[in-house]
Structure 1
Amino acid sequence: MSLTVAALVNWSAPTAQAATATSITVDGNGTGRTFDGVGAISGGGGNTRLLIDYPEPQRSQILDYLFKPGYGASLQSLKIEIGGDTNTTDGAEASHEHTQGVVDCNQGYEWWLAEQAKARNPSIRLYGLAWGSPGWVGSGSNTFFTPNAISYLTDWMGCAAQHKLTIDYLGGWNERGYNATWYENLKSALVAKGYGATKLVAADDNWSVADAMAGDPTFKSAVDIVGVHYPCGYVNGAAIGNKSDFKNCPSTSNAQNLGKPLWASENGSEDAEAGAVAVARAVNRDYIDGRMTAYYNWPLVAALYPNTYFAFNGLAVANQPWSGHYSIAKTAWVLAHTSQFAQIGWQYQDSASGYLGGAQSNGSYVTLKSPNHSDYSTVIETVDATAAQTLTVHVTGGLSTGQVHVWGTNLKSPNDSEHFVHTTDVTPSGGSYTLTLQPGYVYTVTTTTGQSKGTATSPPAAPLSLPYSNNFETPATTTSPKYFTDMNGAFQTAACGAGRTGTCLQQTAQTTPVRWTNENYYAPYTVMGDESWGNYTVTADTMLAQSGAVELLGRIGMQGRNDNGLQAYHLRVSSTGTWSILKSDVVNSTWAYTTLASGSTTALGTNRWHTVSLTMQGATISATLDGTALGSVTDNSYTHGRAGLGTADSTSSVNGGGYQTQQFDNFSVTPGSNPIPTRSGAVRSGISGKCLDLNTGNTTNGTAVQLYDCNQKPGSQNWTYNPDGTLTIGGKCLDVVKQGVTNGTPVDIWTCNGGDNQKWTQQADGSLRGMQSGRCLDDPNSSTANLTQLDIWACDGGANQRWTLP
């Protein structure tokens, strides 16, 4: 008998043949390490910030997809950042203790997130880790390994207790090595404070910590779990490891011989959609290659503005709290293939875990059995396979020989209806059954039930309209104002000073933090808004509580990796009366500043309120103070972008100043007029001699938009860039097919309908960023071939993504 269901999996008799055949025995008496769960990381940093500002019911829908058992990703563990008032990748998270001894357990959003996770899954494990910290923790140096840090962590543990949360695991300093004595002292302090049940993880870095533990019994005794980051390599080729597609995930003999759990305590850094393939490899191969028993995906969710470097990594994309729009990504369903079918405490079966046909290129499989010695689940990935193959399973040793249920995800398909699908049920014959596995899939075969796929749907994306204002009097869910996301420092609502009543926004980090990133300019700033904003005026009342300067930011574009640079205009006004209009940029992965205009006015002084405005109208950038013009300049580097606020030293543009408690009130963004003039002509590629081309000039909906030799044919290459961000030809719009947001989605021509999938913002590097997807118009693989259909891809600044508008 044979059965085919939705082309996902075929059932056949054990004698069926395929290109590769694999036979395994799932033995209830088999041995293996204990499974410690599938988790994800909120932090490192700011990647969850916008989630808390989502409206209901969308906020609860997203949380359900992340944490609700048997519904979505069904996460079994959540790692949260211990905020430190400093940028820790794509943002800064607020500390619970800005100054020593003054503890505020209601700062930030991580406690809220942990509470929401616990409400959905009371069994979820919680894990705390610091990336940076307030300056006092470092005792005058940029290190976390100090006695102050131990009291800082125990104070944070006290906050967890206030929130009625148990912290199961605690780490040291993210990816910054280890200090054995410090870990030993931290362990003793936790026990003394009544937190002895919390297990210590070391060192959230590389395998060298296992070598140190092997030679140091006291250190080994203090550490409960060896946690390593990116044991399969690092996809972006950073210092953590070599560029990797997660095909090889080894540990070391020293690590395996410690008698401690080994964890991939951070993995991922992958695009939410395109990275699902690599994640599918890693979840299985962490155990097969390195005997790692827990997998933590970084990050949890892409709830951050899309101008940041890692803006589309995670299990879901949720960057529009004003519209409620979100998407659940393929990576979530990859993790669900493990987390919905095996629980913490299950046991890996070494004899039923390995590579199909003994070759990595065929795919991998791992089997886990339940503590009741009856149920089991086998997770299989065939992401690199090129042909169908068979897997024959023999069940013995007291495990259930009854019906098994098969779930599958077609990772080659962008169609959500082919992700995490219950495909068929199979009844073994004589304790055996055979599956035919298709290439490019993740499967789970299980004796368990109770799995499901969430059914909530997202509303459409929409821009945040102007005018916009916030007087900070309406409480947000946290002390961070609605939609504001800090990039350095800590901007929080507080009682207004200098005689003003009500609530204001205050920068509360008072000293240069212990920093995790290495940017050359790290003064505090916070951003908000929509990247489609073009001509507008940003205004705020400001009060300098200390000598220094305040900033208004406008047309904020791309941010460099780990905050190493920002495309934006700045108006900086100091307590002494000096002012400047500045342009910041990302040059060679660092901050680059240009002073466009400067001058001096009457000193603002301290503890006095003033109104500051920055206006961007076309190429004219102008500034006012208390209604009086300061100056203006002509610059056309940036045409669109968000708004923001900041604090700084009065003069320097390359330093870590600005850590003063300045205040802001009555923030507003008001629209200008006639945003961008209409321009027509050829759109030239960064690939020499090539242009944006409409195939044969055919304006039928769905006609491919392609790369072609520049030839000035009006019907094919005479594009018009319009004030609303559309690119039109023949009355039709350049369109992302079916409103796709994933890497590789093609572009075509379609009737203009006002959708964000038809709007494009040109960045300072020449790239055209899609307003809906946040991805850039892309020439696949930098092809020079005529007729190459263009698509969208994560923005990387390459010549194949640079376009010169008419």
Structure 2
Amino acid sequence: MKKIVFLMMFLGTQLYAKEVKDLQCESKTTPTDIRINKPHFSWTFIGDSKSPKQGGYRIMMATSPEKLKYPDLWDSGPTSSSQSSGIQYSGAPLKNGQRVYWKVIIWGNNRGAVHSKVTWFEMGKIKNPKKAFQPNVFSKSKKGVTKISINCKDKGRTFEGIGAVSAGASTDLLYDYVDPVRSQILDLLFKPKFGAGFQHLKVEMGGGENSTCGSEPSHAFTKEELKNPVSRGYEFWLMKEAKNRNSDMILEYLPWSFPGWLKPNIYTQASADYFVAFLDVAKKQWDLDIDWVAAAENENDTDRNWLVNHMRPTLDARGYKNVKIQGPDDNSGDWKIFNDLEKDKAFDKVIEAVGYHYVTGREFTDNMVDGRGRPTTAKAKQSGKPLWASEDWSWTGKDWGGAGALNLARLYNKFYIRDQITKTLIWAPIGSIYKSVTWDKTGAMKANEPWSGYYEVWPTIWATAHTTQFATPENWQYLDEGCGLFDASTYKGSVVTLKDKNSANWSMIICTENTETLEVKIKKGLANDKVYVWKSDAENQFVELKSIIPKKKSFTIQLDPKSIYSLTTTTGQQKGTYEIPESKAFPFPYKEDYEDRKVGDLPKYHSDQKGSFEIALKEDGTHCLKQVAPEAGYDWMRIYRRPNIKPHTLIGDVNWRNFTCSADVFIEGGNVELGGRVKGSFLNGYRFMIAKNGSWKLIFNKKTLSKGNIDGFDGSIWHQLKIKFQDKKVEVFVDNKSVTKANHIVSSGYVSFASSYHSNLFDNLEVTPNK
């Protein structure tokens, strides 16, 4: 019997095994004496019945096998490409005699990753070797004093701002806060010279599919809705609130997923119309003028012909000539788009800024700032086109060290010093996400208790303020000779200097790793009066210190280690504060009848993870909750990420264990679910699913605990579902009649509603202690 089982396991492994092999450099295995700067690479992918073809790849190259975890030579990032040969090296300049270790990760066309073994190649004597970029390093005196001279005639790019990306449902629970607390949180995010003062806000154009921490709704779930697009979700509201606080706020939007009616090809005229309809909602229903559209799909590259022949002409024809296109907004590609732009004038004209994600890599430690990532190329810098880190960082703002606040300030500086990047956007501005949901700790600050009003202002708010409160987009310019490093070996200690284009004012943002003495000489044309000093460190953030009066156009300042300083001749900065309400657990017991919000609005305290749930009218004129996504959408990162099971929404407390939950349901079609003790984004927990014909299942995670059918079940009327959890005992009731019992495991989690892709209805949610 054991032999038969082993044979079945072996055959099953062979049937579904994927393999990547035959890794070659310049068509040779482990070659030596490679003499070109940019060799080419190939491999063979063997798929399985589930994923017979390659759907994407990632190449990693490093100076040792150990460093392949955080590649120090080249990391292509995940690419949605089936190419497996002729792939040209795009990493750091290679050296004579250097051995390079490399591997690839391949994703099948229907998900599932396979790693190659580590291999290597060796360089010979390179013909015309490339030189590595060398950042500006400030000179030091024999006494160790770093000297910087700032000059108003110095050249430098225009500062375009620091911003944030509200996407992936990361701002979910902020919408449910009530004033005045909600307004206070928004002040800390967007009010100039008060808190973080984000100057650019990019939002998700929702598609109804999970886009990281949940799903955001679409403005046109059907082709018919495109004629009268709908303001759904909270992103339009968030843009309006940001704009109310800063009239110069720069606005941008980008899709992660698309509704199903646009499948299978998102690069069509219909898709261009869909993009423009989002602008119509913003303008006509919210009086918002959006400045930028990032095209075409988050981290999945873009399409030249679509942009040139459909997107740009449609924007122009519909009255949006002022809306600019940024692209490719990818997390891979090593700025290769410039190879296309220099050969294609029409494409170059359409792309008005170039943005890439995670430019310094994703090593979430204090060494992140020294990660190579995907630096801008000489060609990118020489183009003169605006260069953006269009999504970066993605960490918890609670930390000072590690990958936290100090690291982020260092990144802001590094991106200009190394990459000539003039705009950085972080994900996310705020973590308003239920606990246990994917990336629930990310954000510059936290606000995930709308029922109590509690929120947390994290150090990253003030690390960001060290730039945003001292320079404004388009009005300020970097001074290149005043931008550089204290030590050539690390970006942990850095300085950037900027000047106001319309006055003699200047600001200097400094990050330190070690104790430093800095001497600043001020040349003619820059303000030479009082210099105001602001400081942040691990203990205290954004503290104004004693100001400095330069003598003979010069001053010296002592700098503490692991700190951020802003020196400026401007005024008006402040550390905005409000009294924060106390933290409280989610209300228990809890009732929700959906009567306190308008039809079409989001339900209070719900967190959609897939599909879209909104307030709707019942036949009797009262309100209920409705699942409105009519079909599965065009899923974001469909090659790399496992899909969520079905449309579902979470509510409650992740710590709920022993309780009874009930809700009324109307099954328009397919099936509905009531769940409890559910955690995360993938319906892990207990779920009672019932179909319109009365068939049902009790499920835990992916396992069916019991199933059956209710005789005489009337699928044309409302029914009440109820689940009682008491330690290991789980009992399900339909219309107050016990249907099934299970003696399983003890767990805790949220209550959930789930639905097939039908307009199913939910009402009268009630969560109570057991009697």
Q: If the TM-score is normalised by the length of the shorter chain, which range does it land in?
A: 0.7 to 0.9
Q: Which amino acid aligns with 2:150?
A: V
Aligned to 1:388: 515
Query: Per-residue deviation at 1:204?
Result: 0.7
Matched, 1:183 2:313: no
Any conservation in 2 of the 1:394–1:431 contact (CA below 8 Å)? Answer: yes
Matched, 1:641 2:766: no
Matched, 1:167 2:275: no
Deviations 1:665-690 (A, max 9, x none): 111111125xxxxxxxxxxxxxxxxx
Any conservation in 2 of the 1:233–1:243 contact (CA below 8 Å)? Answer: no
Q: Which amino acid aligns with 1:268?
A: W
Any conservation in 2 of the 1:408–1:421 contact (CA below 8 Å)? Answer: yes
Aligned to 2:216: 93
DSSP-derived class of the 2:389 partner:
strand
Q: Give the 5 Å matches for 1:494-505.
A: 494-496=616-618, 499-505=619-625
Q: Give the 5 Å matches for 1:544-583.
A: 544-546=667-669, 548-557=670-679, 559=680, 563=681, 565-583=682-700
Any conservation in 2 of the 1:246–1:281 contact (CA below 8 Å)? Answer: no
Aligned to 2:626: 506
Counterparts of 1:19 and 1:105, CA distance in 2: 66
DSSP-derived class of the 1:360 partner:
coil
Any conservation in 2 of the 1:246–1:279 contact (CA below 8 Å)? Answer: no
Question: Which of these residues, 428, 431, 443, is aligned with residue 550 of structure 2?
Answer: 428
Q: Which amino acid aligns with 1:74?
A: G
Question: Which of these residues, 326, 341, 355, is aligned with residue 227 of structure 1?
Answer: 355
Matched, 1:668 2:766: yes
Counterparts of 1:264 and 1:53, CA distance in 2: 30
With over 3 angstroms needed to count, the CA separation of the structure-2 counterparts of 1:243 and 1:136, relative to structure 1, is farther
Normalised by the size of structure 2, how large is the TM-score?
Answer: 0.77
Further displaced range: 434-443 or 352-361:
352-361
Aligned to 2:69: none
Any conservation in 2 of the 1:40–1:299 contact (CA below 8 Å)? Answer: yes
Counterparts of 2:492 and 2:143, CA distance in 1: 10
Matched, 1:490 2:612: yes
Question: Which of these residues, 187, 198, 215, is aligned with residue 64 of structure 1?
Answer: 187
Extract unaligned runs of 5+ from structure 1: 1-14, 585-592, 648-657, 674-806
DSSP-derived class of the 1:23 partner:
strand
Counterparts of 2:340 and 2:757, CA distance in 1: 38
Query: Per-residue deviation at 1:357?
Result: 3.9
Counterparts of 2:140 and 2:165, CA distance in 1: 43
With over 3 angstroms needed to count, the CA separation of the structure-2 counterparts of 1:247 and 1:262, relative to structure 1, is same
DSSP-derived class of the 1:613 partner:
strand
Aligned to 2:735: 626
Deviations 1:334-374 (A, max 9, x none): 11000000011111111100101444265011111101240
Counterparts of 2:481 and 2:673, CA distance in 1: 62
Counterparts of 1:369 and 1:334, CA distance in 2: 20
Query: Per-residue deviation at 1:606?
Result: 4.0
Counterparts of 1:355 and 1:273, CA distance in 2: 26
With over 3 angstroms needed to count, the CA separation of the structure-2 counterparts of 1:495 and 1:609, relative to structure 1, is same
Any conservation in 1 of the 2:599–2:616 contact (CA below 8 Å)? Answer: no
DSSP-derived class of the 1:176 partner:
coil
Aligned to 1:701: none
Aligned to 1:464: 586
Deviations 1:272-292 (A, max 9, x none): 122213211211111111000
Counterparts of 1:193 and 1:214, CA distance in 2: 29
Q: Which amino acid aligns with 2:766?
A: S
With over 3 angstroms needed to count, the CA separation of the structure-2 counterparts of 1:669 and 1:187, relative to structure 1, is same
Counterparts of 1:38 and 1:520, CA distance in 2: 33
Question: Which of these residues, 474, 490, 499, is aligned with residue 369 of structure 1?
Answer: 499
Deviations 1:358-413 (A, max 9, x none): 4426501111110124011010111xx2x311111111130001110010100x33
Query: Per-residue deviation at 1:553?
Result: 1.3
Counterparts of 1:98 and 1:603, CA distance in 2: 35
With over 3 angstroms needed to count, the CA separation of the structure-2 counterparts of 1:604 and 1:181, relative to structure 1, is farther
Any conservation in 2 of the 1:80–1:127 contact (CA below 8 Å)? Answer: yes
Matched, 1:481 2:603: yes
With over 3 angstroms needed to count, the CA separation of the structure-2 counterparts of 1:545 and 1:466, relative to structure 1, is same
Q: Give the 5 Å matches for 1:433-452.
A: 433-452=555-574
Any conservation in 2 of the 1:247–1:285 contact (CA below 8 Å)? Answer: no
Extract unaligned runs of 5+ from structure 2: 1-138
Any conservation in 2 of the 1:230–1:264 contact (CA below 8 Å)? Answer: yes
Counterparts of 1:381 and 1:402, CA distance in 2: 23
Aligned to 1:316: 445
Question: Which of these residues, 541, 548, 552, is aligned with residue 419 of structure 1?
Answer: 541
Deviations 1:592-623 (A, max 9, x none): x1111222213645432111111111111111
Q: Which amino acid aligns with 2:532?
A: H
Counterparts of 2:372 and 2:554, CA distance in 1: 30
Matched, 1:615 2:724: yes
Any conservation in 2 of the 1:178–1:209 contact (CA below 8 Å)? Answer: no
Counterparts of 2:152 and 2:643, CA distance in 1: 57
Q: Give the 5 Å matches for 1:771-790.
A: none
With over 3 angstroms needed to count, the CA separation of the structure-2 counterparts of 1:83 and 1:199, relative to structure 1, is same
Aligned to 1:299: 428
Normalised by the size of structure 1, how large is the TM-score?
Answer: 0.74
DSSP-derived class of the 1:424 partner:
coil
Q: Give the 5 Å matches for 1:687-702.
A: none
DSSP-derived class of the 1:335 partner:
helix
Question: Which of these residues, 30, 37, 43, is aligned with residue 154 of structure 2?
Answer: 30
DSSP-derived class of the 2:738 partner:
strand
Counterparts of 1:356 and 1:174, CA distance in 2: 36
Query: Per-residue deviation at 1:521?
Result: 3.8
Aligned length: 616
Counterparts of 2:328 and 2:684, CA distance in 1: 35
Counterparts of 1:602 and 1:157, CA distance in 2: 51
Counterparts of 2:734 and 2:479, CA distance in 1: 70
Counterparts of 2:548 and 2:516, CA distance in 1: 17
Aligned to 1:259: 384
Using the aligned pairs only, state the percent identity: 34
DSSP-derived class of the 1:612 partner:
strand
Q: Which amino acid aligns with 2:428?
A: P
With over 3 angstroms needed to count, the CA separation of the structure-2 counterparts of 1:65 and 1:403, relative to structure 1, is same
With over 3 angstroms needed to count, the CA separation of the structure-2 counterparts of 1:641 and 1:19, relative to structure 1, is farther
Query: Per-residue deviation at 1:471?
Result: 1.1
Any conservation in 1 of the 2:600–2:616 contact (CA below 8 Å)? Answer: no
Aligned to 1:128: 253
With over 3 angstroms needed to count, the CA separation of the structure-2 counterparts of 1:314 and 1:19, relative to structure 1, is farther
Any conservation in 1 of the 2:174–2:182 contact (CA below 8 Å)? Answer: yes
